[in-house]
Structure 1
Amino acid sequence: MQKPSTKSLIIIAFIGIYVIWGSTYLLNKISVTELPPLFLAAVRFSVASILIFTIAKVLKFSLKITKKQLLNSTLVGFLFLVYGNGVFVWALKYIDSGFGALLASTQPLFVLLLMRLIDHKKMQPKSLIGVAFGIIGMYLLVSQNELVTNEETLLGIFMIFTCIMSWSYGSVFVAKADVPKNYLVSTGYQMGIASIVLAIASLSLGEAWSSPLTWSTRVQLSMLALITFGSIGAFTAFNYLLKQVSTEKVATSAYVNPIVAMILGWYVLDETLSTQSIIAAVVLLTGVYFITSRKRDLPKEEISKDIP
């Protein structure tokens, strides 16, 4: 059985990736209305990585990294943060934050498919039921003509799906990859590397850079929350969970985040919250239940890695 302290950390980490990440869709949407998307992401992750390494040094964690760990961290940083996040933020220019978050709820479906293809892992009945509910919920969402209005919206939807695939493969890869053992240090390297790539991409594409002093108060507060809670808190929790519980369970955050994002987008930005979207959200959450409640065929010593 797991030690109570480990159980508590896992519960806190899940709250982080469920609730805090759910709010980042709103925060990114607010920020991208004034700032170029790649520049936004570069600033967010560069500041976050500096703070993370500072915290790690104060706590006397080792910052040593092997060549293999550096290569793996570079790949993971690209999959999660450069493409998975940077392009996703760009797509939010064309769609509502809640709608984008609901699209992201298809991630567990991609994760299960990738695990089937890469690890030849057989899907259990409850997983298949969860996938079915996910597909139904996805159809209910994208079939709303009042939300899918023009070619730019369709482009945004397509690009988000490619981001979800990138994030899903990263989730499967990092679960077994050789990266720094300390979750805070691992997060710092991923963000630091990603921020450099994002900065180069931003400059190459001619994005306009600006001083934080020129940003509106709304954007300044949003960026502060993205860096502290979204990047340092939630992403560190995400890396921790990938090593503690099954990848499919971590991926269920993509089902809960949209509910948080949809409510916040409706309340703060007056985004559309239709009855059909609410029904789609309920269906998707039902899929969460079936995926997280299924039992796994694991050796006894590995069973403790899952939340009971």
Structure 2
Amino acid sequence: MSLPRKTMLIILAFFAIYVIWGSTYLLNKIVVTEVAPLYLASIRFTAASILIFIIAKILQLNLAISKRQFLNNIFAGFLFLVYGNGVFVWALRYVDSGFGALEASIQPLMVLALMRMIDGKKIKTSSIIGISLGIIGMYLLVSQQQLTYQENSLIGIIMIFTCVISWSFGSLFVARAELGPSYFVNTGYQMLSSGILLSLISLLLGETWLSPLQWSGSAQLSMGLLIIFGSIVAFTAFNFLLKEVSTEKVSTSAYVNPVIALILGWYVLDEHITMQSIIAAIILLTGVYFINSKRTIKPRMHGR
């Protein structure tokens, strides 16, 4: 018996945010070695939004949304893409892509903590165990000598942590906010507004704008993959999942993303994986497993 269409879409969407997003750490790392980070993000999201609107027109999707929906999409785009992604890519200049992915894997812990603060929901014992393991795992991860003494690595670690907060709050916001009826079109508005804002910030900070024609072939290919798969496919899947399943479940992408990123970083960029990183990853991911192994918080029912 074949799976219902909605179930199949959910499975494919989870594959997108698990595997595709796991690879974006590597792709961003490749491009950011040649291209200014905020300029990189502005090109990625502006190009993706233009392609989304072209595809939406071909598919005859309605692009009209209300003023409130438009403003909500701009705010969501800022939390996810301008701060959550733009600053994250900037921080990858100071830490390995695999390390950045591992630090980002505390997102389920952050989502749970924010739901406790915002909704006043009780955190169960299994969640407390998970949070404790997460803290221990993060301490092991950031206390390594080779990380501590890298120039500006502490700045990168702190900024990635603030990105995790921004992304986690954005996830809760989108799950509750009034957006347009099409997940695909919503993604387009979020990316267009974010791309424009990132361009302005890049100019204000005096970043060097290098023509894509002057990039290396690997950087051009990586940017193409980021635009099509990392932005259009995976981010649309992410918006879809936030409305269809509970926010905690969506945040479990943090289980798989670090594994994909570490393997690719080691295989492609020859990034070093220490035994302490492996132990920290196991402890940290065990922590987020404890949080999500049981339904600690009832998912909010979404009206249709």
TM-score of the superposition, structure 2-length normalised?
0.94
Q: What residue in structure 2 maps to residue 274 of structure 1?
A: 274
Q: Which amino acid aligns with 1:238?
A: F
Per the TM alignment, residue 298 of structure 1 is displaced from its structure 2 partner at its CA by 4.7
Contact 1:255–1:284 under 8 Å retained in 2: no
Q: What residue in structure 2 maps to residue 250 of structure 1?
A: 250
Stretches of 4+ aligned residues off by more than 4 angstroms: 296-299
Q: What residue in structure 2 maps to residue 154 of structure 1?
A: 154
> Aligned pair 1:208/2:208, yes or no?
yes
- 1:187–1:173 distance in 2 versus 1, CA, 3 Å: same
Distance 1:205 1:152 in 2: 19
Contact 1:33–1:93 under 8 Å retained in 2: yes
Distance 2:223 2:292 in 1: 32
Contact 1:88–1:160 under 8 Å retained in 2: yes
Distance 1:244 1:29 in 2: 31
Per the TM alignment, residue 213 of structure 1 is displaced from its structure 2 partner at its CA by 1.2
Q: What residue in structure 2 maps to residue 128 of structure 1?
A: 128
Distance 1:122 1:4 in 2: 34
Contact 2:76–2:170 under 8 Å retained in 1: yes
Per the TM alignment, residue 177 of structure 1 is displaced from its structure 2 partner at its CA by 0.4
SS at match of 1:147: helix
Distance 1:233 1:263 in 2: 22
- 1:64–1:297 distance in 2 versus 1, CA, 3 Å: same
SS at match of 1:219: helix
Q: What residue in structure 2 maps to residue 182 of structure 1?
A: 182
SS at match of 1:194: helix
Number of corresponding residues? 300
Contact 1:52–1:185 under 8 Å retained in 2: yes
SS at match of 2:145: coil
Q: Which amino acid aligns with 1:23?
A: S
> Aligned pair 1:193/2:193, yes or no?
yes
Q: What residue in structure 2 maps to residue 50 of structure 1?
A: 50
Q: What residue in structure 1 maps to residue 295 of structure 2?
A: 295
> Identical aligned pairs, as a percentage?
65
Q: Which amino acid aligns with 2:216?
A: S
Distance 2:23 2:221 in 1: 13
- 1:274–1:183 distance in 2 versus 1, CA, 3 Å: same
- 1:51–1:147 distance in 2 versus 1, CA, 3 Å: same
Distance 2:146 2:256 in 1: 23
> Aligned pair 1:32/2:35, yes or no?
no
> Aligned pair 1:90/2:53, yes or no?
no
Per the TM alignment, residue 302 of structure 1 is displaced from its structure 2 partner at its CA by 5.1
Per the TM alignment, residue 252 of structure 1 is displaced from its structure 2 partner at its CA by 1.6
Contact 1:48–1:232 under 8 Å retained in 2: yes
Deviations 1:260-295 (A, max 9, x none): 111111111111101111122222332343233212
Q: Which amino acid aligns with 1:48?
A: A
Query: What's the RMSD between the two structures over aligned residues?
Result: 1.7
Deviations 1:232-276 (A, max 9, x none): 111111111111111111112123211111111111111110111
Per the TM alignment, residue 12 of structure 1 is displaced from its structure 2 partner at its CA by 1.1
Per the TM alignment, residue 191 of structure 1 is displaced from its structure 2 partner at its CA by 0.3
SS at match of 1:180: coil
Distance 1:191 1:302 in 2: 27
Distance 1:285 1:155 in 2: 24
User: What runs of 5+ residues in structure 2 fail to find an aligned partner?
Assistant: none
Distance 2:288 2:244 in 1: 18
Per the TM alignment, residue 132 of structure 1 is displaced from its structure 2 partner at its CA by 2.5
Contact 2:94–2:151 under 8 Å retained in 1: no
Q: What residue in structure 1 maps to residue 145 of structure 2?
A: 145
User: What runs of 5+ residues in structure 1 fail to find an aligned partner?
Assistant: 304-308
